[in-house]
A and B are shown apart, each in its own frame.
Chain A
Amino acid sequence: MTMPVRTAQYGFAERWLPRLVLAPSFVLTLVFLYGFIVWNGYLSFTTSRMLPNYEWAGLAQYITLFDNERWWVAVRNLVIFAVLFIGGAMGIGVVLAILLDQKIRFEGAIRTIYLYPMALSFIVTGTAWKWILNPGLGIEKLMHDWGFTQFTFDWLVNSEMSIYTVVLAGLWQSSGFVMALFLAGLRGVDDSIIKAAQIDGASLPRIYWKIVLPALRPVVFSTLMVLSHIAIKSFDLIMALTGGGPGYSSDLPATFMYSMAFTRGQMGVGAASAMMMLMAVAAIVVPYLYSELRKDGNG
């Protein structure tokens, strides 16, 4: 007689406990993430300036945004940064991973050294590189002190080149991470596949290019996802390294949004630019999620 009762109680707890535990974080996410996204979306259609207001303005803020030259600089910078950062981090990371995969000595130590920058926040990275690249303090000064007085390296203060210093610091920070991801993937590849390819007469680059890397497609994919994420939401690195300057030459959409919404009293334009960024992220993530979820559904 007692058995069914106990089963029922157990069943009740089993059914409701996970939901209860998840509920607070679910509510918080709903309000503070999706709620604020919706709010921001609404603000982008209002005349908000210093403070939010709810006077409908239609697409006026978007028109202002698209007329703003600074926005287009930020977008152009994002394209440059994203392409060089993602491409560079992938390239460097893969090459490092392949080199480390050749059963070299002190691998553990080397791996830690390369991975270490990832442990720093972008603020620290940005500040450190600001000093390194500062013509009066860093590399240029060092070369001058050594007697190479012709040497100039002024990217940080050159509005043509400042965005490339951001790329440089970003690569320094993230390449080791990509390397770690790929190294884990490479370790998963059966050794005898490489041996078979050696006997087949393929050179090492060809083995990796034709056989090993194609087998690591999932790693390539998730690494791309992570890197594009980092690229689009890059904010702290810019703030610490160049502050968007000189002028607004190294602005990215995230820093643009921040200065519009919070320092220049253009909340509506800021909200509109935030929506543009959201759409850019969605354009990448949604197809990815869709394909992943569909795979789960089938499998």
Chain B
Amino acid sequence: MGALAIKNVTKTFGDTQILKGINIDIESGEFLILVGPSGCGKSTLMNIIAGLESPTTGEVCIADRAVTNVAPKDRDIAMVFQSYALYPTMTVRQNIAFGLETRGIAKAEQNEIIARVAKMLQMDHLLERKPAALSGGQRQRVAMGRALARNPKLFLFDEPLSNLDAKLRVEMRVEIKQLHQRLKTTIVYVTHDQIEAMTLGDKIAVMKDGVIQQFGRPQDIYENPANLFVASFIGSPSMNFIPCHLIEHDGELGVSLQGMASPYFISLAGRPNLRARLGEKITLGIRPEQLDVAEAQSSALECKVKITEPTGPDTMVYTEVNGVEVIARVHPRLVPPTGQSIKLVLDMKKVVLFDPVTESRI
């Protein structure tokens, strides 16, 4: 069953088109992440799903029902806002009860629901407090509780964790994931944090400038980014992009990489659609963990260690290839001292190629 379908939605404010034809379709129970840089239109799309804004053109369906002209309250949704949006003069209990009251739910049932939600989110002791007397994390919890109380078809989360500190953010992230696994309600979740996107989502829609750049499962997007933007946005540290020329060497197509020693040729044989680009510039994309320290004898790309950044399990080694900075994620035991050379090999199966002009995947 389709939980949410967005069909050709555009939104124009004044003269500027903020959303340029959005299409999304997710199944019931799925966790959809909308991710993208600030100002790309995530909140606008969210407001359109919620019915707080109406699309300029296009259509929104929730649970197989066209709701484009349905008021927010009749869409059977609940939303958690970035600023929490708690009602400041009401206690936590009243905050949760407000929506139930407007829906004409009897007092006894309200109390039952509040008790259930408070237990689920472990906030019984907060019920009689006002929002001003809560910490950021507790406010976040209350905002989620208010959404959960209604048991809607669709949860909307607009950057719910962005005001929390790093540790709390990780905790809440896990909690949200557990909650989703337990309740199995469809969730649309906006973030600009790619780690949240990767860890939480069943599906990710990567947005930029009001256009969905790629829509798919997190692992697919990570391994097969559709273009340079998606490749650089997803993953931390970001994918390395090495500018190269496509050349032919001993009858094989490939590129040459220049570290600190002689150029190192890597073969791109067997990849389709390359022959026509012979002699042209291409961008080679490789993630830091797809670069590894070479075994003693094998031929490798030799480059100079400029900076090392130990993270604990791995160490980030900053080097230079073809004039650009390249980061390799290697085992700490294999890292030579700064200033010395390191021999790297590339995991050729994972390497991706981009057209430097159109920025799309080759």
Contact = CB atoms under 8 A, between A and B. Distances in A.
Given A195-B52, A196-B79, A201 B99 contact: yes
B82 interface: yes
Interface string B66-95: 000001110001110111011111100000
Contacts of A201: 73, 99, 102-103
A200 B102 contact: yes
Contact of B89 (A195, A200, A202, A211): A211
A166 B35 CA distance: 61
A215 B98 CA distance: 15
A193 B47 CA distance: 13
A68 to B, nearest CB: 46
A87 B50 CA distance: 38
A200 B149 CA distance: 11
A145 B87 CA distance: 55
Given A198-B72, A200-B102, A214 B89 contact: yes
Contacts of A215: 87-89
A192 B73 contact: no
Nearest to A206: B102
A87 B81 CA distance: 36
Nearest to B53: A195
Interface residues of B, number: 23
A206 B87 CA distance: 13
A192 B102 contact: no
A199 B50 contact: yes
A104 to B, nearest CB: 16
B87 A197 contact: yes
Contact of A195 (B71, B79, B102): B79
Contacts of A206: 102
B81 A196 contact: yes
Interface in B101-126: 102-103
Contact of B85 (A195, A202, A217): A195
A69 interface: no
Nearest to A213: B89
Nearest to A202: B102
B98 A199 contact: no
A190 interface: yes
Contacts of B99: 199-201
Contact of B82 (A192, A202, A210, A214): A192
A199 B79 contact: yes
A75 B79 CA distance: 54
Closest 9 CB pairs of A and B: A200-B99, A201-B73, A214-B89, A192-B85, A196-B85, A192-B81, A201-B102, A193-B85, A199-B72
Given A195-B79, A198-B72, A217-B89, 13 more contacts: A190-B83, A192-B81, A195-B50, A196-B87, A197-B98, A199-B52, A199-B79, A199-B99, A201-B73, A202-B98, A202-B102, A215-B88, A215-B89
